[in-house]
Amino acid sequence: MSRLVRRAVAVLRWKGDRPFWFVDEGKRHQVQWIIDEWWEMGDWWKAGRDRRMLRVWTDRGACMDLECEEGTWRVYRIWD
């Protein structure tokens, strides 16, 4: 099960071009593993933008999908 949230996060530290430390709803998360990485294509007929997606496991035991669209990182989905 998962839930869509799409909320912006503050990236505190980077590892290369990927978030390493980020804050979501006041809680700091450190990325332990990047489980997967992919691109999602935008709806071209609506002038949608491509999004970079990362599925990560954090030090808080959370499995999250992070998205980057136009330079803004968000928690897109949280997996139970």
When mean pLDDT is compared across 7-11, 47-51, 63-67, the lowest value belongs to: 47-51
pLDDT tier, 46 (very low <50, low <70, confident <90, very high otherwise): confident
Domain spans of the chain?
2-73
Give the Cα separation of 30 and 48 in Å (integer): 30
**Three-state secondary structure call for residue 48:** coil
Give the Cα separation of 23 and 65 in Å (integer): 14
Please tell me the pTM assigned to this model. 0.89
DSSP 8-state class, residue 1: -
